[in-house]
Structure 1
């Protein structure tokens, strides 16, 4: 059973599973204010329309109170026809404006949700590539799926409904005070119960919901990693360990789920007690005042009805505020990307030439654990350089530094004398491109997938790019040609075809410097060799840094750099390094048997 204390966890469990930051209250507040400024006209119109609907709803209690008072005064003419007519008009106005409130609220919610999605996407795409690459898959996935889904309901309903509830309750309390000021004391009698219960709940709820969301992210991360690395897990017999980890994450997540449920089980009875105390206090205080002649029976009737009407807006406020507790955590997780500082960039910095240099570069993924140790490299324009070495030596890391994906911890990487880390990312991407083993086929036509690299390209250029990577053969036999739908729900491309599409994008992007990190790894050796020869014609005159374990790539390069333990141990041409009989010569002999 869950007690009053939240479940205890070790420091490595759900809350620390998040790689990307969670937005601080100040960041979330600033973003909410920004959204309100963007939609202030729609928000103001919603408040006005809702106010009219609430005022119309108070006509009925006022009319009934008047009838009661007339009866108490012994009136013989009640004018029921006029009363019914006025009530019918008020009811019609209320019905019309309630419909407008719902419509305006839904429209406002959808617009806010659209802004939120767009802002998150734009900000995420604008983050330094290294940040997204190091982010946990499960955490990033849960933000763009689960958190967006949770916010969808909040933006569509919770935000407008909360605003409606606050205005509704405020107008009713104002009307109650104006009708019978003593009855406003009834609100003060019942309010402490509501405030104590809400204070207890909302003091614990945000942290609990935050931990619940982090727990779900940990579950998603564990399951996603297990699926992605299924073959590796099976090969190393890690299945039982991964199952135990998944069970642990699920247990921690469900513990937080039960705790948040316990919090709600305390809040709801407190709210019910408030309702009973409010109505009871109105009747008792009002009855005493009527008996003493300090208040009329009509005022008591109107006041009691208005107090009864308070039940719905107060319930609405608490219900949707509780929903916003969950949404606030999701919003903080989405807005958290705003707290990631982009690499310092200066639009005025532009490269003067195509010369790529690395000068005493040091880099590590964790503080105190460098992967590269004082690496210096000089890649002249038009040079074809190959980086070779054992797995884990730092080849791919060095390639990402040369491509501007990562910023060096010490030393610098420059392009045309300009430091890559200080250049805007878009400017870097226009001139340097990284193509690695990872590729993605987007849902859409083959044409759309290619146009991602250059939106202005014509069909002839698209076919030329496919031909340059030997992909036009299979592409031309497709029934709809470039209009063929590919990706999920369409034609499933083989890994080799998907890699060819990625390389065709590279041809269309036309950067002057390329970093190829096992770019042909998914092709068989003969096809890879043929593709690399085709690419050689396309890449002629460009600077190319190729990272590969297949040494035929190194054989064709102008310069070969051997990377071992994060250092360049040999540098020279193929013939020179073979003659030196060092590490490269040993690799070459093992490659050729």
Structure 2
């Protein structure tokens, strides 16, 4: 839907629980047993080799105290250097494998999330809003990708090192081990205080960022409509409110993390004091060697350094965890199994179909006020109808229902003799193509981008479609023609060219009914006339519904319907409606004076 429709605040896509997200990660790790096992083994080996030099340093102290020969010290030195080199190598390999495993999991998750979004019913996408969808397959993927490169390897490696260092402390002396381990409850209490409070806070922050994205998208999508009806202040206020909410949550997260760091420092202080006191007592009682007592604080340093790393990277890890639950939640969204099936109706492509709307009434979920009420419209086979009206009149809602997106509470939309409510989305797409202002060029060769609409189309058919919409000349001038890379990392295309590619896909699709919802709005005034001619050329011989962004588009249609508060209040040709002197005539005068 466009930003011009009044609707309730959209629901959000599903968010998984922590347990579900962990099970998903575990299941995918089990699908890569060799990589997962190698990652764990190298991480454990690296941690053990980092702890070994501390134990050897204690042995050096004892050797000096006991007056051992120089050869003993040389042997220990060789072992120290070897352990350091092997530990560095094992840690490097471990870091690489963790990144490799994480990247593979992220790729699977991203592909699954995108596939899940593409498999959802269109009405569900419209219900939740594009901000939530885009923030998950965009922002959440970016946050998780950063976490996989930084926080997650740190947390995993540090966790293993904590376990190994704890075992090493008990290896020196069980009493020293107990003294150092006494700090662990303080760390545990800090985490127990932090985790239950931080996870919801981070999820709330991600939701706020999605709401801000939705506000920005809505305003930008309908920028010309916003300007025409002087709604700039309203949209600016909405974006400002959402931005302040994101900022306030960011400040709250930072303040909360600062309190967590204070608790972590308290735990380090407790552990170090206990080790020093226990070591002194053991020396006084001649129950431990000087080397053991000297190594214990160093071993504790090995313990609290990774613990500190875990604490200080937990902020990023929590963000990654919140994004992970949101992405895994998308995988659990229900999808209509018939969305990608064969169309149950295969229309004769050369035959135009009439569109008949009878008694159409539609309300969004959880609202009592209908967006459309008792709408009746007819578009003759091969004819065209333009919808015009003020902001919130219901134009885009009606266009979406005619395109088979959503189901009305009353009334019907018929393409020829077929009621759209009886068809799945695959069948509806065989009858109706919809083109909105949200056009997109996918990364890859231009030919592949066009063949999304017609996989079996030849190069000649692709060029014919491009020439139909006026894009033939600039495509032929590209470095490699149809094989030129476009989209991200490829040839940069302006808004008008992107719109022409979308129109060429429309030509290649050959659906007998076409719905265009402000499809050339993003092009602005520059090149608008050329794009409007391209639209008319793409729709020749098809039954066409326009949601008119410019009233010049309405003039070109066979008939015009004026919507007001969800009802059709006027119908007729442009000349008839101007002569009538009603709502359309006032819109026309305002448009002409503004132009």
TM-score normalised to structure 1 length: 0.77
Which residue of structure 2 lines up, in the alignment, with residue 8 of structure 1? none
CA shift in 2, pair 1:52/1:421, >3 Å:
farther
Which residue of structure 1 lines up, in the alignment, with residue 58 of structure 2? 65
Which residue of structure 2 lines up, in the alignment, with residue 370 of structure 1? 370
Contact 1:105 1:161 in 2 (8 A): no
Contact 1:17 1:218 in 2 (8 A): no
Q: CA deviation at 1:450?
A: 2.4
Q: CA deviation at 1:331?
A: 2.7
Quick one: which of 109, 112, 136 aligns to 1:116?
A: 109
Contact 2:340 2:426 in 1 (8 A): no
- Cα distance in 2, alignment partners of residues 587 and 546 from structure 1: 15
Which residue of structure 1 lines up, in the alignment, with residue 402 of structure 2? 402
Which residue of structure 2 lines up, in the alignment, with residue 24 of structure 1? 16
Q: CA deviation at 1:238?
A: 5.2
Q: CA deviation at 1:315?
A: 1.6
Q: After superposition, what is the alpha-carbon deviation per residue over 1:468-521, rounded to whole angstroms, capped at 9, x for unaligned?
A: 4454466556676545676788465563x5544323212212334433556688
CA shift in 2, pair 1:335/1:273, >3 Å:
same
Which residue of structure 1 lines up, in the alignment, with residue 330 of structure 2? 337
Matched, 1:289 2:282: yes
Which residue of structure 1 lines up, in the alignment, with residue 463 of structure 2? 463
- Cα distance in 2, alignment partners of residues 246 and 564 from structure 1: 27
With 437-446 and 41-50 compared, the bigger mean Cα shift is at 437-446
With 140-149 and 348-357 compared, the bigger mean Cα shift is at 348-357
Contact 2:450 2:504 in 1 (8 A): yes
- Cα distance in 2, alignment partners of residues 53 and 449 from structure 1: 47
Paired residues for 1:36-47 under 5 Å: 36-47=29-40
Q: CA deviation at 1:49?
A: 0.5
- Cα distance in 2, alignment partners of residues 160 and 586 from structure 1: 63
The runs of 5 or more residues in structure 2 that have no matched partner are 1-7, 348-352, 589-595
Q: After superposition, what is the alpha-carbon deviation per residue over 1:106-145, rounded to whole angstroms, capped at 9, x for unaligned?
A: 2223223323332332222333233334554554454444
Q: CA deviation at 1:546?
A: 6.2
Contact 2:386 2:554 in 1 (8 A): no
Quick one: which of 64, 73, 80 aligns to 2:73?
A: 80
- Cα distance in 2, alignment partners of residues 249 and 529 from structure 1: 35
- Cα distance in 1, alignment partners of residues 334 and 417 from structure 2: 24
Paired residues for 1:225-244 under 5 Å: 225-227=218-220, 244=237
Q: CA deviation at 1:418?
A: 7.9
Which residue of structure 2 lines up, in the alignment, with residue 13 of structure 1? none
Quick one: which of 258, 265, 271 aligns to 2:258?
A: 265
Q: After superposition, what is the alpha-carbon deviation per residue over 1:327-364, rounded to whole angstroms, capped at 9, x for unaligned?
A: 22233333443354334748888525648876765322
Which residue of structure 1 lines up, in the alignment, with residue 92 of structure 2? 99
Matched, 1:207 2:206: no
CA shift in 2, pair 1:480/1:65, >3 Å:
closer
Q: Secondary structure at 1:58's aligned position in 2?
A: helix
Matched, 1:429 2:429: yes
Paired residues for 1:238-253 under 5 Å: 244-253=237-246
Quick one: which of 166, 177, 181 aligns to 1:173?
A: 166
Contact 1:361 1:375 in 2 (8 A): yes
- Cα distance in 2, alignment partners of residues 543 and 240 from structure 1: 38
Contact 2:379 2:385 in 1 (8 A): no
The runs of 5 or more residues in structure 1 that have no matched partner are 1-15
- Cα distance in 2, alignment partners of residues 276 and 153 from structure 1: 32
- Cα distance in 1, alignment partners of residues 504 and 453 from structure 2: 9
Q: CA deviation at 1:48?
A: 0.3
Q: After superposition, what is the alpha-carbon deviation per residue over 1:20-68, rounded to whole angstroms, capped at 9, x for unaligned?
A: 3351315534443344334453232111011112222233233333344
Aligned length: 567
CA shift in 2, pair 1:310/1:438, >3 Å:
closer
With 102-111 and 231-240 compared, the bigger mean Cα shift is at 231-240
Q: Secondary structure at 2:150's aligned position in 1?
A: helix
Quick one: which of 299, 303, 307 aligns to 1:306?
A: 299
- Cα distance in 1, alignment partners of residues 428 and 406 from structure 2: 12
Contact 1:47 1:163 in 2 (8 A): no
CA shift in 2, pair 1:535/1:349, >3 Å:
closer
TM-score normalised to structure 2 length: 0.77
- Cα distance in 2, alignment partners of residues 216 and 563 from structure 1: 34
Q: After superposition, what is the alpha-carbon deviation per residue over 1:156-213, rounded to whole angstroms, capped at 9, x for unaligned?
A: 2222222211211112212322332222321343233323333222232223323333
CA shift in 2, pair 1:163/1:369, >3 Å:
same
CA shift in 2, pair 1:360/1:198, >3 Å:
same
CA shift in 2, pair 1:222/1:358, >3 Å:
closer
Instruction: Tell me how large the CA RMSD over aligned residues is.
Output: 4.7
Which residue of structure 2 lines up, in the alignment, with residue 6 of structure 1? none
Contact 2:170 2:176 in 1 (8 A): yes
Which residue of structure 2 lines up, in the alignment, with residue 163 of structure 1? 156
- Cα distance in 1, alignment partners of residues 207 and 187 from structure 2: 30
Contact 2:51 2:164 in 1 (8 A): no
With 160-169 and 69-78 compared, the bigger mean Cα shift is at 69-78
Q: Secondary structure at 1:341's aligned position in 2?
A: coil
Matched, 1:130 2:123: yes
Contact 2:503 2:534 in 1 (8 A): no
Which residue of structure 2 lines up, in the alignment, with residue 4 of structure 1? none
- Cα distance in 2, alignment partners of residues 189 and 305 from structure 1: 16
